[in-house]
């Protein structure tokens, strides 16, 4: 998670919402990323997507079974879908996202069941709240500094 926090700091330095992610397989970081939707003009350039893309390119396969994704903020629906499609084995996240979190805060995509039957073809083990205070503080500081800046009139 510390490596994901470093990625989040890179996002903040670039003026992006400070979310970072690293994907680990067999104890080695195989993909990393930070939020870049503003600079890339790409709504899909979330930290998780960037890390998954890099890992897939590195391994020559979009499927990443047995890997663990560490991310500083609870993934949204888009990122959760990508995590499922990549067959990531485990997700570890820091801060909860009460506005768009898809791992229990708003939705629980990985917990999709009908009765006792799982409705999705892949399931990912989720660990919540790792270094949550530190991850949340980074986000809070970023948004506090943005609110303190004078707004330009257009």
Residues annotated as catalytic (active site), given as ranges: 48
Structure tokens at 145: 């500094």
Distance CA 57, CA 41 (A): 21
**CA dist list (Å): 81 to 2, 44, 53:** 24, 12, 14
Element (H, E) at 88: none
């Amino acid at each position: 998670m510390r490596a994901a926090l470093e990625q989040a700091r890179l996002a903040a330095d670039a003026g992006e919402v400070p979310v970072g992610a690293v994907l680990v397989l067999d104890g080695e970081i195989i993909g990393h990323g930070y939020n870049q939707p503003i600079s890339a003009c790409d709504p899909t350039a979330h930290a998780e997507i960037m890390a998954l893309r890099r890992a897939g390119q590195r391994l020559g396969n979009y499927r990443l079974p047995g890997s663990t994704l560490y991310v500083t903020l609870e993934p949204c629906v888009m990122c959760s879908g990508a995590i499922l499609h990549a067959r990531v084995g485990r997700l570890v996240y820091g801060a909860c996202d009460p506005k768009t979190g898809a791992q229990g805060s708003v939705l629980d995509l990985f917990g999709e069941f009908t009765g006792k039957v799982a409705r999705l073809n892949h399931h990912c083990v989720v660990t919540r709240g790792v270094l949550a205070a530190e991850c949340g503080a980074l986000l809070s500081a970023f948004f506090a500094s943005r609110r303190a800046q004078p707004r330009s009139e257009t």
